[in-house]
Amino acid sequence: MRLSLSAMVHSGRDGLTEVVERFQARAGLAPEKKMTMHITREALSPVVPKRPTPWWSAPALWLAMITMGLMAGLFYAFAVAVMPALAGADDRTFVLVMQKINRTIENPVFFVTFFGAFVFTGAAAIARHRLGARAAARWILAALALYIVALAITMGVNVPLNEELARAGDPARIADLAKVRGEFEGVWVPANVARALACTLAVACLARATTPRVRAGRS
């Protein structure tokens, strides 16, 4: 004979209640202090296994924070130290130093950090979305959007100016150093400040994604 789920639940509940009542009787508990037992449907429902966490989920987010922080720090250093220092230099020194910086910075370490911030942030957003952590994914996507702004400024403004400065040639042979410097410095400096701000806000968004409240999906 087959028992329905309802009959099985009532049977199991009656049996457990009987055991509890016998225990209470032996312990001499007063009626108003007797323990009660409630069996809910949730307690009897089958446990649904959680989606497995990708092994690269946590490393992607931490690498995103590290590379994004390094890029924000690089642009910040130019904004508050390098460019203000060069502002007081003569035209020849300014052009010469910036040409050397632009050549030196094109190295594997910089490129891994520069493009890694984009790749790791995107990977972290995908991982959080697949895990169902929608609140965290939104903050990471905000960081990615801000970094795309920084990339657009770099590739659309700073890099072309760097290339134009390089084409100007040896500072000793430039006829009008003041003009070359003015056309470069007047645009490059505010563009760098803008990308530094975008990267700094991106780091803040990534940090927000790691807070317990966001990881719990409450904001």
Amino acid residing at 116 = G
Angle at 181 between CA 178 and CA 183, to 5 degrees: 105
176 in the Ramachandran plot: left (φ > 0), alpha (ψ -120 to 50) or beta?
beta
The stretches in the chain having pLDDT less than 70 are: 1-57, 213-219
pLDDT of residue 88: 93
Decide: residue 153, CB within 10 A, 0-12 exposed, 13-18 middle, 19+ buried. Answer: buried
In this prediction, residue 51 carries a pLDDT of 57
pLDDT given at position 219: 54
Q: Is 2 exposed, middle or buried (0-12, 13-18, 19+ CB in 10 A)?
A: exposed
Q: Phi-psi region for residue 179, left (φ > 0), alpha (ψ -120 to 50) or beta? A: alpha
Amino acid at 131: L
pLDDT at residue 211, as a whole number: 80
The tokens describing 78, both together, are: 């130019």
Write down the pLDDT at residue 15: 54
Write the burial class of residue 53 (CB in 10 Å: 0-12 exposed, 13-18 middle, 19+ buried): exposed
DSSP string, the chain: -PPPHHHHHHHHHHHHHHHHHHHHHHHT--GGG-------HHHHSPPPPPPPPPTTHHHHHHHHHHHHHHHHHHHHHIIIIIHHHHHTS-HHHHHHHHHHHHHHT-SHHHHHHHHHHHHHHHHHHHHHHHTT-HHHHHHHHHHHHHHHHHHHHIIIIIHHHHHHHHHT--GGG-S-HHHHHHHHHHHHHHHHHHHHHHHHHHHHHHHHHTSHHHHTT--
Contacts of 178 (CB under 8 A, 6+ apart): 91
**Model pLDDT for residues 154-205, shown as the tens digit of each residue:** 999 999 999 999 999 999 999 999 999 999 999 999 999 999 999 999 999 9
Calpha distance 157→81 (Å, rounded): 20
